[in-house]
A = this chain, B = another copy of it.
Amino acid sequence: MRQRSQDLRLRFDFNNMMSEYVGKEQGITKAQLKANSELCKKAFETVQENRGKGMMGWSELPYNQDQVVADILETAKAVRKSCKYFVVLGIGGSALGPIAVFQALKHLHYNDLKDKARKGPKFYVEDNVDPERMLALFDVIEPEKTIFNVITKSGSTSETMSQYLIIWDMLKQKFGERAKDHVIATTSMQSGNLIKIAKKEGLKTFYIPDSVGGRFSELCPVGLLPAAVLGIDIKKMLKGAAYIDKLCNKPDYTKNPAMAFAILQYLAFNQGKNVSVMMPYADSLKYMADWYCQLWAESLGKAVKKDGSPAFVGQTPVKSLGVTDQHSQVQLYTEGPFDKVVTFIAVDGYRGSVTIPDGCEEFPNVNFLCGHTLNELIDTERRATEYALTKKQRLNNTIYLPEVNEFTLGEFMFMLELATAYIGEMFGIDTYDQPGVEEGKNATYAMFGRVGYEEKRKELESAPKQSKDYIC
């Protein structure tokens, strides 16, 4: 049965952000929202004007990739035929999107399925340089049946390039000239090392537009290729993104869910809510929270505004999982400091149902569960947690997905990208840079003796020696 787009429309419910529901002391008022409608309008207009320009290439990804998608689908088909293991080498934005979409749309124990049931390659994303992790990977793959997708736009990401060096050396030793058949590069078309390496070695290559930053890259080949290799309908993902984009084509927060999300978080942050919890009630969406954490943290955690004045803004995003973390974090959420906004993600329809059968008739404290479904239980617990938080005057809101599929994920991710763009404008910061990671990168280069970092090395060597008094 073909579903209509409007039946798959996500909904954003922010009743429990408002003073009528969560109380005057913590809640946001209608008057406040109205007073900020000009701010919303300005943010909206700036984002609109900059679409496709500078680092806002991401906004056009739902529309300008027909050719790319065709190429990806062709490659994916061949990969699915030829390999048993598909390994992404990437970190940050090159890993979080692929992981999140994989978890959302494939079997929850995908790699554990027998080949026949899995119907596609086993999937690994190597987003760390822990030596134990690399050794563990070699224990479970067969190189002759493996394709590695090395993803880095700049080609200078130390972690990914280290992995590439290790993998390439292994492939060369094993397969000689045929090594290149085991690697696909996803990188910048114009600049950086990886594109040069790819050309030299003759690797199949997909391109990351220079105007698309890592954390906004899931809907370009970074995310689309792994998804397609897994048999995920990437056209539908892009359609979902385009659908929500159209829905968000006005500044009015009562009609534009991305704007509503942005202005509410903005006001909440200014009222001391420096923590943003993302809490999906679905195992499939667990890593969507991780994806959100990068988007929100790296885009908004900034020390300086565009005009040069100090900012020091940015909520700390926290990933949580319903109902699991009710037994870990909800005590803090209901009773701790008034410093959070909790965003629930609810799913209207799960892709399966389990009934709790009769049993334990002598134990009414257990037996009351019988006859209900797990579907009812997880949804009831979400509503109960929402109720408990609201009663304790804790700000919360809910993003509803009619179901988890390619279309709704496209909506979800694009909506949050838009929201990030809006709130970045409200804060007056550069949403797309990440100057704060340079210091650590440079210190690493210096310690590794990279040419050009001699000054930094001197600086490090002259740092005050640690005191033994402060070690125990």
Contact = CB atoms under 8 A, between A and B. Distances in A.
A375 interface: yes
A417 B370 CA distance: 37
B108 A133 contact: yes
Contacts of A84: none
Contact of A312 (B196, B318, B337): B337
A257 interface: yes
Nearest to A383: B447
B357 A165 contact: yes
Interface string A257-285: 10010000000000000110000011110
Interface string A98-141: 00000000011101110001000010000111111111110110
A300 to B, nearest CB: 7
Given A11-B472, A440-B330, A444-B380, A193 B316 contact: no
Interface in A129-179: 129-137, 139-140, 155-159, 161-162, 165-166, 168-169
A92 interface: yes
Interface string A382-401: 01110110011000000000
Contacts of A108: 132-133, 136
Contact of A378 (B129, B384, B467): B129
Interface in A358-382: 358-360, 362-366, 368-370, 372-378, 380-381
B366 A193 contact: yes
Contact of A137 (B109, B304, B312, B372): B109
A329 B384 contact: no
A166 B373 CA distance: 10
A248 B381 CA distance: 40
Contacts of A12: 471-472
B471 A165 contact: no
Contacts of A332: 297-298, 300-301, 314, 316, 436
B293 A329 contact: yes
Contacts of A190: none
B162 A328 contact: no
B467 A15 contact: yes
A254 B470 CA distance: 7
29 contacts: A13-B466, A17-B470, A18-B467, A21-B464, A92-B324, A92-B328, A111-B111, A128-B323, A132-B283, A133-B283, A158-B369, A162-B356, A165-B360, A166-B354, A196-B362, A214-B327, A293-B328, A294-B329, A300-B336, A301-B331, A303-B335, A304-B335, A330-B440, A334-B439, A334-B440, A376-B448, A380-B447, A383-B443, A384-B441
